[in-house]
Structure 1
């Protein structure tokens, strides 16, 4: 090849070689990941995922509680049915005996009664008495039979509801494995963000709790909640070893002599509605349009709550996420 043509070929070929080498270096070199997410970003992600999990837990609490209550009602109805049915059976047996005797006696029984009565008037009185006894027995049997039918109908309705609720309960329980897997992922994210302490500041109780000391039932409930700080969050638990959100508030108010259901939405219905400006220690703070989370106010813009699995009962300020997502406030008692 003439020298000029060689030089022209090299001039065209070398840039191509260099470009290829550069590309190879880029492809084979270290891959630089995006900057690690900040703790705030991870906390928001954890909260977002938990918001999708907690309603399922609350739903399970509701269905399981209704199922247990209805099973107890059905058992009670069954206990009431047994003696009533026995009364009907015994009365029907007596009627059967009377009917058999009449059948065996036939028409001669009336003649025998007439001959032995001494007079038609006495016979009429005897027949009238027999008729009254028969009617009284019939009314008694009818009354008891009606009660049996009512209890049986009520039990049949309850049994049908129990079958439906048992299916819902089983379906929700079957989702437990999936929930636990998702919660494990949340815990790993939390550990990445905050380490083993599980909290942004590493403090479950950064200020005095209650922040404001008050008397009365609310003050007692707030003090009880504060005394439980550090207990682990346990799904659907109400102590003594751990608590979920509504289990914590239920136990706190129980210390003040006020009974609340183990369900955030039920506690909302059981409480008097108040405004945020009227909050005082012991009041409840509800979160989400479906009321899937609840905390208890302890004064100074602080609350105590059981956040989620992997965390502990802790204090939290009503700022940021909690301020934006509070959907209502209530005062039990």
Structure 2
């Protein structure tokens, strides 16, 4: 039977209760596999593991979103800082010229103008008051004001971005603090998998048929071929290669081989790709599962996909059926 749909969708606030609920459910599962009870069959273990995994995977995809946004905004803030530095230098140089003019005004006895200069509380006030000094040319004043305005706008943009970075950094740190606990529970799931399938943790054949099943060329064909080449790589949550992949990291890496950039988060890939009907599926198309889109794979033809399933498992082929499909998307 297909795994039960998760009842809860994680939000961008990363609520602790979602993690606690998932980990508690895992603990209940583990407690129910003691020696006093009959050993579960491999099929029963797989069903239990899938159920628990569907509660943990949304948190992993949420981490992908927040961590990617944090890195992108940190890069934007660094770029803004680089733009600010020359503007600040221009304003400082312009103010130095104004100071020189003020000194000349003082030496020529025009004390009233000098008093205007000395009376400014800050550079902006000083610029407003210095309009009475005839020695400053009109175009020079306009240039100073233009540079100062550009500087102030960039400084305001950076201040807003810094506040967003601080918020995202808190979310990122909150999830990172839970990482050890989550990975510990995933290790327990892997132990259950080993009980059913041996020390490798693998379930069945990774590539039961030729992959891709259909090859049509073009970017989608290239992406599908790359996904097939990654079969056998281990599932690593939050990873996009080269040692391992999670579900959205796999599709991101596969499409990168075709020169198409996808972001490392299932919902972003859903948003950035175009809808396609099931009847029109081609190798390379993305297949999304569950109402909260927390899992995805890549179609490779013949009703098959390549995906990174769960912790302890490996990138593998699987039939599209068996999970509730939300829709299909085509990048590019």
Name the TM-score class by shorter chain: 0.7 to 0.9
Question: TM-score if structure 1 supplies the norm length?
Answer: 0.78
- Offset at 1:286? 0.8
Which of 127, 130, 148 is residue 151 of structure 2 equivalent to?
A: 148
Which of 294, 301, 305 is residue 303 of structure 1 equivalent to?
A: 305
Q: 2:13: which partner in 1?
A: none
Q: Whose RCO is larger (CA < 8 A, sep 6+)? A: 2
Structure 1 regions of 5+ residues with no counterpart? 1-31, 110-129
**Residues in 1 aligned to 2:110 and 2:243: alpha-carbon distance in whole angstroms:** 80
Q: 2:169: which partner in 1?
A: 166
Q: 2:20: which partner in 1?
A: none
Establish whether residue 104 from structure 1 lines up as the match of residue 103 from structure 2. Answer: no
Establish whether residue 195 from structure 1 lines up as the match of residue 198 from structure 2. Answer: yes
Q: 1:263: which partner in 2?
A: 265
**Residues in 1 aligned to 2:160 and 2:218: alpha-carbon distance in whole angstroms:** 44
Question: TM-score if structure 2 supplies the norm length?
Answer: 0.79
- Offset at 1:70? 1.0
1:41 to 1:35, Cα distance in 2 relative to 1, 3 A: same
1:76 to 1:200, Cα distance in 2 relative to 1, 3 A: closer
**Residues in 2 aligned to 1:328 and 1:106: alpha-carbon distance in whole angstroms:** 80
CA RMSD of superposed structures (Å): 2.2
State the secondary structure of the residue aligned to 2:223: helix
Deviation readout 1:238-289 (Å, 9 max, x if unpaired) = 2222111111111111222222112211111111111223222111111222
State the secondary structure of the residue aligned to 1:175: helix
**Residues in 1 aligned to 2:279 and 2:189: alpha-carbon distance in whole angstroms:** 34
Alignment of 1:176-255 (within 5 A): 176-201=179-204, 203-255=205-257
1:200 to 1:89, Cα distance in 2 relative to 1, 3 A: closer
Q: 2:3: which partner in 1?
A: none
Which of 43, 53, 56 is residue 53 of structure 1 equivalent to?
A: 56
Establish whether residue 62 from structure 1 lines up as the match of residue 65 from structure 2. Answer: yes
Q: Stretches of 4+ moved more than 6 A in 1?
A: none
Which of 283, 286, 289 is residue 288 of structure 2 equivalent to?
A: 286
Q: Which has the larger radius of gyration?
A: 1
